[in-house]
Structure 1
Amino acid sequence: MTATSPRPARLFRPALIVFLLLAFGLRAYHLDFQSLWSDEGISLLRSSQPLGAMWQAMPVEHVPGYFTLLHFWIGLTGESDYALRFFSLWPSVLALALTYLLAADLASARIGLIAVALLATNGFQVWYGQEARMYSWLLAGGLLSTWLFWRLLFQERTGRRTGLAVAYALATAATVYFHYFGFLIPMAHAVVAGGWLVVERRWRGILPWMMGGLLAFLLFLPWLSRAWQVLHFTGWREPLDPMNVPWMMWTAYTVGDTMPAPLVSYLPWLYLVLAVVGIGVWMHQRRAAGWFLLAMVAVPVLAILALVLRNPDFHVRYTIFLSSVAILLASGGVEGFHLASGQRWWGRGLSWLVAGSLIAANGVALQRLYYDTSLHKPDFRSAARYIEAHERPGDVILVDGPNPDIIFAHYYRGAAPVYDLRFLEEANFEEVDRALTDITAGMERAWELLLFRQPGPIQMWLATRGWAAAPTYHNDIRVSLYGLPGTAMERRTLNLPFGSELELAEVEVSATSLKPGDMLRISTHWRVLAQAPNYKFSLRLADPTGQPLANWDYVPQNWFAPTHVWVVGSMATDQHALIVPAELAPGRYQVTLRLYDPASGAAVSTPAGQDVLLAEVEVSR
């Protein structure tokens, strides 16, 4: 057994402080750059309630610890995005300090320092250190409980064990109050304690641990009757193959979701090799420490496999406390180069070269986390700001997605009424028609937010009853503006053939005297002469020379009525809208329409050319 001596451990402290400051900086950087998303909105909405009401209304799958603490936090700091997320930042950094303390007490402060460096830059850790949820608290609570458990079993000064037992009880109860999966921590401790008792046959640390465990149970007892109900919670996620869960967890904890290819495929295997070597290193440093870390991984993973077989509602963040143990094992493998060299300078250099390479790879993942918008959360903030900037009297907002009170209302400061359409989730078209006709009565325009839903009857109603303008996208949130019926339209007969399959019979346009920001409604009515290909429409606003200034390419009726399904011998209609650009100079402009084959880009020929004039409009300030 060769534990790190106190003197080298003291020399590591300046480096530890540097890595902790680095961790703080990486988590504080862009902390409020992204919008809150739905889960974070739930945190805010729930924590804003009076405590009694919050506890009473707590859903079965949640425990109240994090929300209770956040309730007091927002009372002090307010509800800004930065304040909400900062509450998760500091336990994420605290978890790194606890990882170091655990490693130093186990056997090696040097391995602990390597682990802190890797965790400080780990994309998975930074992501959840920047999210207004309970997971960084679950991580810190689990590590604190585990560190105190180790000290209870191996603390030489018997007089301090009572205090440690009380602290252990508080940390363990808090961990389970943060998340139900926190119960895996005391479960693993119980297995370790049982093994320790069998091997060592000593009760010196067992009795204080049992006292602390009993106190933790008593602290959780008030919530126990509610906790039993979670056994009947079926969740909402797709079923998981239990055999894939361990590797899914390992990949998440070592490289995260933001590591780019091909590193995301190779690095988990490198971490696994390092962890296998690390087990041997920990065993060499202190056999009990090696077995302890193995048990702290194996027991929760086996329990998770059993739980997933019963209920597939699992996510790797639920067991975030395992991530530090996984990195401690891999860090032991990194230190193995140093030990294998007989602790010579070149071995130490090789260890830090490997660690530096892993940190550099983490940096690549962090760059994607910060700047790759495809990885970012749904942007409710920009969606709300966009609507605020363009809304007008007579507008209504329809939210087809999560409860708008959860997060949209946190950002939206406009005057338009907001309607939650979740009650229409299972409705048929007739039910949607009745509901939306009532909601939009007397309104001129409707904003639609679509998130976590496929277009359905609601979108079909809007497309066929209204005039859809080009949507904007805000990280998976589609914001569409529709003109509603009631505006006077001017009708003009054209009877203009488009190829041999279609004939544009009539066109209707709303007022042709417009201002920047106004909506121009356009309806086209078609005779279907023969089976048409799947054409796309290109509606354009052009200058007097025909040069396009704004355009929107789409499938008729906002993608609900493609031309290849139009019935031969019948009439078909398309309704769309153009928004006059805010920067458009006063003057006279043309509105034209082109049909084209999306596969080849070839425009459909007409006697009037490729771009058919639908209307001329006058734009003034």
Structure 2
Amino acid sequence: MDAALKRDSIKWAIALVIILLAAFAARVFWLDRHPLWWDEGLNVYFAHQTPAALLEETRITHDANPLVYRLAMGGWKELIGSSAFTLRLFSVFLGTSAVALTWAIGCWLTSRKTALIATLFVALSPMQVHYSRETKGYAFALACALLSTYAWGRKLGYLDLGLPDLGGLVARLGWWTVYVLSTTAALGAHYYLGLLVLWQGLWVLGCAGLALARKSAPRREILTRLGLWLLAMGVVALLLTPWLLAVLDTTVEMVTGVSVGDSLPVWGYLGQVGRVFGAGPGETEPLASIAGGGMAALSAIGLFGVRQGGKAEDRRHLAGTWRPGWSRPFFLLSWVAVPLSAAYWVQTAYSFFSPRFLLYLGPACYLLVAEGVGQIGAGYMVSALSRRLSAAASIALAVAIAGLWSLCLARVYIQPYIAPGVGRLDEAEEPRPAIARIRAAALPGDALLYGYIWQAGYLYAYYPQNELALYRTYYTPQTVGQELESIFAAHQRLWMLDYRIAAEDPHNLPASWLEAEAYKVESDWYNRHHLALYLAPDFQTPGVGSEEGVASFDGRIELRYPLVSVRLAPGDTLALPLRWRALDALNENEDYAVFVHLGLPGAQPLAQSDGPPQNGLAPTGAWAAGQQVLDRRALLLPDAIPPGRYALTVGLYSSDGSRLPVGDGDSLLLGYVEVER
């Protein structure tokens, strides 16, 4: 008998290991194929902050997420690394851990067969897989919620308020510690986990009330158990209250600000939750409704099945933890129903809601669904049919679920869903080309301006070893000049990373100052991200002399220019200050562009800077007589430029390409550049 049980246990263990490997593979597959998106970049940024800075930034940005997940991710990055892949890997391991915890809870509440089916569902559920692949706190909250529920209900005996059998005081203290810390971590990952604590509290109070009414245990014992739970919740509150008090006003302000839509009616709410739990986020009709409706039907069947107690061999494997009656099915039902109902009322007050906030209810739902599948396969619900036909029906259900989910998982890998109002990830959001350009050209001592804190998160993830000094562009027209001058006092080169707005856009406040006052080295779009590089207004290239030459273009415009004799390497930048002066008033038909060319006579330029003076902010057609314009030109030498001695020329040309005469030609020689490798 012992050998048979051992072989049987080995088979269950092998099946569990296979499912865990499948869960890990489903979560890690193509993990880095898609770029981070806004919320992920936000969390990466916060994970790089100290606790004090995290609190300050949360208040400044009115962020509505608590701190524990971000602190945990900060510790993870110190151990494993801070690339996008390694940070997402944190959620992969947490999501896989949730699969293992589902097995433990399933064996405790139902049977090993049901637990294994539920574990498989959690392993492959599109919703569970999706949120175990992001640098967001949902997988963390899920794992902590399951651990909290298992410690509280199973190890501490709160399923029916019975005394735990833990083998001594040390073991009991250990599990109380696990319960308190896991509950604190769950609440500290997402505020909607407060509904889990609400359910646990109602369950404890209800069990205590029934026990007192039935006198099924000594009154003192019941009140002691109730008091211990309340004490544990007091410790949780003490751990989280300082943070909550510090951010309460800004969090409420943010949630109120984004709760602009109408709340969902009850059937719309249940339908949305069911569709996402059944088919994953963002799935369209009819697939989502079929999956959600099927799950609901199987859960109802499963609720009856849990009451039945499973087969005799399953009860034997539960080793005495099975208790006939309604406590376990009602425990599972209330685990889902209480937070689900409470969340409905919360979203009536604050309409900012997503089914992902309830991800931690997934394992309980899948336990009920798994029991429903098992009941059909065992013939409990269709006793008139043969056992063989019942087994075929069970297999058909599993195949149907797998077929539906395979379609949904394909979308998770190919084009994952982001959020309502955003839809699925657009590849135009890809930030990696822009960051690759920074990695290729950044120099020690460079600084970078960014507008959104998730952009800084992108930099931390895709350029982990960067030495850039990062500055956020929270400026006003009154402070922008002073702020940028102070940055240039410490850094000679400044990158500017924008989103959906170019540096040349007049609505781009800091960039407008830079366009007028600094040397623009490069400016380009990388999908929806715009990247520009500027040099300080007082930047000097060695060899660009202080001696000036003077030239006249067609007797209309005078140029004062530095004499140039420099030695540079490929990838270096030549800063060239040009001082123009209108000798006469120019009209709108005299809009000229400036060109600065580097190359060999008669050949195409190897490097150039073309465009109107001052990056278009001082068009020549509007110059008054005597007006002076300082035009800072920057010439970036290509990496592939061959060694040699090249002429540097400057000139003016009109919209039809004709050049203004200067001296005996149409361009002015400023000097020579010696390129050396």
What's the TM-score, normalizing by structure 1?
0.70
Deviates more, 1:185-194 or 1:64-73: 64-73
CA contact (8 A) 1:271 1:330 kept: no
CA contact (8 A) 1:37 1:379 kept: no
SS in 2 for 1:440: helix
Match of 2:513 among 461, 469, 474: 461
CA gap 1:573/1:255 in 2 versus in 1, 3 angstroms: farther
Residue 165 of structure 2 aligns with which residue? 160
Residue 343 of structure 2 aligns with which residue? 304
Letter of the 1:585 counterpart: P
SS in 2 for 1:470: strand
SS in 1 for 2:481: helix
CA contact (8 A) 1:165 1:211 kept: no
SS in 1 for 2:398: helix
Residue 15 of structure 1 aligns with which residue? 15
Q: Report how far residue 168 of structure 1 moved.
A: 5.0
SS in 1 for 2:252: coil
CA gap 1:606/1:376 in 2 versus in 1, 3 angstroms: closer
CA contact (8 A) 2:594 2:651 kept: yes
Mapped pair 1:374 → 2:427: yes
Match of 2:123 among 95, 110, 120: 120
Task: Map residues 40-439 of structure 1 onto 2, 5 A cutoff.
Answer: 40-46=44-50, 65-66=68-69, 77=79, 79-81=81-83, 86-107=89-110, 109-110=112-113, 112-122=115-125, 125-126=128-129, 128-130=131-133, 134-148=137-151, 151=154, 152=157, 160=165, 166=176, 171-192=182-203, 207=222, 210-211=226-227, 213-223=229-239, 225-226=241-242, 229=245, 231-232=248-249, 233-236=251-254, 238-240=257-259, 241=261, 243=263, 246=269, 253=277, 263-264=283-284, 266-286=286-306, 288=326, 292-308=331-347, 310=349, 318-328=357-367, 338=377, 344-361=390-407, 362-368=409-415, 374=427, 383=435, 386-387=437-438, 389-392=440-443, 395-402=446-453, 411=463, 418=469, 420-422=471-473, 425-428=474-477, 430-439=478-487
* Structure 2: distance between partners of 1:184 and 1:493: 77
* Structure 2: distance between partners of 1:265 and 1:493: 71
CA contact (8 A) 2:450 2:496 kept: yes
Partner deviation per Cα, 1:415-434 (whole Å, 9 max, x = no partner): 66x25245xx2421x42113
SS in 1 for 2:495: strand
Q: Report how far residue 460 of structure 1 moved.
A: 0.8
* Structure 1: distance between partners of 2:561 and 2:54: 54
Letter of the 2:299 counterpart: I
* Structure 1: distance between partners of 2:340 and 2:563: 64
SS in 2 for 1:481: strand
Deviates more, 1:120-129 or 1:269-278: 120-129
CA gap 1:578/1:414 in 2 versus in 1, 3 angstroms: same
SS in 2 for 1:448: strand
Letter of the 2:573 counterpart: M
Q: Report how far residue 17 of structure 1 moved.
A: 1.7
Deviates more, 1:295-304 or 1:467-476: 467-476
* Structure 1: distance between partners of 2:549 and 2:369: 72
Bigger radius of gyration among the two: 2
What fraction of aligned residue pairs are identical, expressed as a percent?
20
CA contact (8 A) 1:537 1:556 kept: yes
Residue 600 of structure 1 aligns with which residue? none
Q: Report how far residue 187 of structure 1 moved.
A: 0.8
* Structure 1: distance between partners of 2:363 and 2:530: 38
SS in 2 for 1:344: helix
Letter of the 1:281 counterpart: I
Deviates more, 1:337-346 or 1:280-289: 337-346
CA gap 1:606/1:297 in 2 versus in 1, 3 angstroms: same
Q: Structure 1: which 5+ residue stretches go unaligned?
A: 1-5, 497-502, 596-602
Q: Report how far residue 129 of structure 1 moved.
A: 3.6
Q: Report how far residue 92 of structure 1 moved.
A: 1.9
Q: Report how far residue 253 of structure 1 moved.
A: 5.0
* Structure 2: distance between partners of 1:19 and 1:316: 25
* Structure 1: distance between partners of 2:432 and 2:465: 16
Deviates more, 1:449-458 or 1:212-221: 449-458
Q: Report how far residue 561 of structure 1 moved.
A: 5.8
Partner deviation per Cα, 1:457-506 (whole Å, 9 max, x = no partner): 2111111112334346678664321133345698876679xxxxxx9998
Letter of the 1:37 counterpart: G
SS in 1 for 2:531: strand
CA contact (8 A) 2:475 2:510 kept: no
Deviates more, 1:64-73 or 1:463-472: 64-73
Residue 25 of structure 1 aligns with which residue? 25
Letter of the 1:39 counterpart: N
CA gap 1:25/1:203 in 2 versus in 1, 3 angstroms: farther
Letter of the 1:282 counterpart: G
Q: Report how far residue 278 of structure 1 moved.
A: 2.3
Letter of the 1:100 counterpart: W
Deviates more, 1:345-354 or 1:203-212: 203-212
Deviates more, 1:328-337 or 1:120-129: 328-337
CA contact (8 A) 1:541 1:589 kept: yes
CA contact (8 A) 1:103 1:328 kept: yes
CA contact (8 A) 1:149 1:209 kept: no
